[in-house]
Chain A
Amino acid sequence: MTMRKAAVSEPRTTELERVYREDGERLWRSLLLFCGDGELASDAVAEAFAQALHRGDEILDVGRWVWKSSYRIAAGELKRRRRTSGPVPETGYEIPDAPLELSIAMRSLSPMQRAAVTLHDYAGYKLREVAEITGSTTSAVGVHVTRGRQKLRKILEESADG
């Protein structure tokens, strides 16, 4: 056992690993849908769980906390990139190994629509939970989900028409 591991209470480490094993994949893919960048998704997930490990018993609901933290970390990095790279950063959005239509469709959404649709329709969170994760309001999230789905549906229809 290393000195680092000895500094963290065993039960919390075990609990966190269990949360990661149960939900980490879904969280990572959800972040990938949100930011279109696998490395950023990995960094956000790892950083959120590492911070949770470091905080130990301060966190009451670990599952909820890591979702909120990882989204904030990813959103913060995207915001930083927009500030430094200027407008139209979405050309960098890409989901490798998935059908191209997914990247094309998700790229058409605004960041807030992507977050709302991903958390609601992929991760299965209710509107209020999405609002808590993203730091928004239930009403705003509801509109982003509706508008985001309308845009995606339109893209699917146009693509079906050829």
Chain B
Amino acid sequence: MDEVKRLIRQVDVVGSPDLWSDIETRRPRPPEPGPGPGRRVVVAVMALLLSAGGTWLLVRSFGATGSSLPPATRATPATPHLAAEIAMPDGLVPSSVDVGPDAAWVAAYPDGDGGGALLRVDLGTNQIVATIPLRQPTLVRAVGDTVWVAEPGLQVLRRVDATTNMVVASIHLPGNWLSSMAADEAGVWVLTFSGYGERGVSSATPRLVRIDPATNQIVADHRFGRFSMNDDQQLQIGAGSVWILGGPVAEGDDGGELLQIDPATARVVATVPFDCFGFSVGPRLVWVWVPADGVFDTEDEPMAVRRIDVDTFTISRPFVPLSGVPYNLLGADDGGVWLSAHEGRDARIRPVHIDANTLEVDMRAPAAGVWPGNAILDAPTRTIWISGEHAVDRIDY
């Protein structure tokens, strides 16, 4: 047993109380009440103000509509199937996956004191064909011949040349926690926080940083006020813009307002006027995950999805794609959006596809990974990559 575990195990000498009779007779506390109808009123007022252009944040406004979209053009879907289970080397946990032109890249974190690695997976054979040692890689984004890997514990972004599998640059980032990253040919965007971990997530200060891939230099460092750190999908690129899930619409809310940012100026050009708890950006649609009744005030709150057409700035009414089943947004393609669903009594993820026009389930993929594990969609290759405990599962559709 190592010395740290030996230290912690000293707690075993402390006698623990028998709480069963307290448990049997205790009246459980009710869940903390939300602000109730008052918050709905605040959200509605905010929406009216924003749609009237009455705030400094808003340039464009979003309005609600139930209109349908022109049919999406995509290939006839093949039946989704489990194409590969890619085992991780001993001691490594898959943290993040992204897909480049001819390889998938896995940022694998050490489960213990050892080092991590960036793993290259050949798309044809699904074999790990290269291992690039790194200390604490947790996020990866692949664009053309470049792979960007973030090491939040070191506050460093590494650039890897995909033709040589070598680290060619290391960029030190401001703040003390790099939480999410998005990249395309024009640049790399990073959402980084200052003060994270010292007093908890909610007190950290966010910064949006852009790196120019031509020079590997930081060319923008923008602050948006105070909001909480979310997961590694808090920042995304798509539909011609950069998107960030920011702070709550009103005091006391738990979600965040979705900010649309002009990549040329790093300025907010529009704000979705209600609390979102997740989002996925597709080629022309943005999907947001929201409480079904508009207010998140119970622990097992039923969730709904809304579709936003970026071209017309219209928002669908909320719809509940899966009833009584926990799910998250997984990723958007040109035909709709994939959800990670937790159906059944095991701990697996079952991806489900929602058609963009009908808003109904039109594809179901087999179980993979471990709920609520990381899952990404790569629309160009029509693949879904789901992290398990010591493997990455690939689903083709």
Contacts and interface: CB of A to CB of B under 8 A. Distances in A.
Interface of A: 4-5, 13, 16-17, 20-21, 24-25, 28-29, 32-33, 38, 42, 45-47, 49-51, 53-54, 60-61, 79, 82, 87, 95-99, 101-102, 105-106, 110-113, 117-118, 121-122, 126-128, 132, 137-140, 142-144, 146-147, 149, 152-153, 156
Interface stretch (B105-113, B256-264, B282-290, B330-338): B105-113
B198 A139 contact: no
A110 B197 contact: yes
A156 B2 CA distance: 12
B50 to A, nearest CB: 29
Contact of A46 (B8, B22, B138, B197): B22
B232 A139 contact: yes
A47 B4 CA distance: 30
A26 to B, nearest CB: 9
9 tightest A-B CB contacts, nearest first: A139-B138, A143-B153, A50-B26, A49-B23, A51-B28, A142-B109, A50-B28, A28-B16, A139-B95
B3 interface: yes
B14 A139 contact: no
Contacts of B231: 137
A20 B17 CA distance: 12
Contacts of A42: 17, 19, 22
Interface SS of A by simple majority: helix
B17 A139 contact: no
Contact of A79 (B12, B152, B200, B345): B200
A4 B12 CA distance: 34
Interface in B126-159: 136, 138-139, 152-153
Contacts of A142: 93, 95, 109-111, 136, 138
Contacts of B8: 33, 102, 106, 117-118, 121-122, 152
Of A5, A106, A121, chain B has the most CB atoms within 10 Å of the CB of A121
Contacts of B95: 138-139, 142
Nearest to A102: B10
A113 B138 contact: no
Interface stretch (B163-171, B244-252, B368-376): B368-376
Nearest to A151: B4
Given A47-B29, A126-B93, A138-B93, 15 more contacts: A17-B20, A24-B16, A29-B16, A47-B28, A98-B14, A102-B7, A102-B8, A127-B93, A128-B387, A138-B374, A138-B387, A140-B138, A143-B138, A152-B4, A152-B8
Contacts of B78: none
Contacts of B75: none
Contacts of B24: 4-5, 13, 53
B74 interface: no
A82 B17 contact: no
Interface in B14-61: 14-17, 19-20, 22-29
Nearest to A16: B23
Contacts of A29: 11-12, 14, 16
A87 B200 CA distance: 12
Contacts of A149: 4, 113
A28 B19 CA distance: 10
B96 A139 contact: yes
A128 B370 contact: yes
Contact of A47 (B25, B26, B345, B373): B26
A140 B199 CA distance: 15
Given A127-B93, A138-B109, A97 B13 contact: yes
A146 B136 contact: yes
A139 B152 contact: yes
Contacts of A110: 197-198
B22 A101 contact: no
Nearest to B199: A82
B197 A113 contact: yes
Contacts of A156: 3-4, 7
Of B3, B19, B93, B232, chain A has the most CB atoms within 10 Å of the CB of B19
A126 B138 contact: no
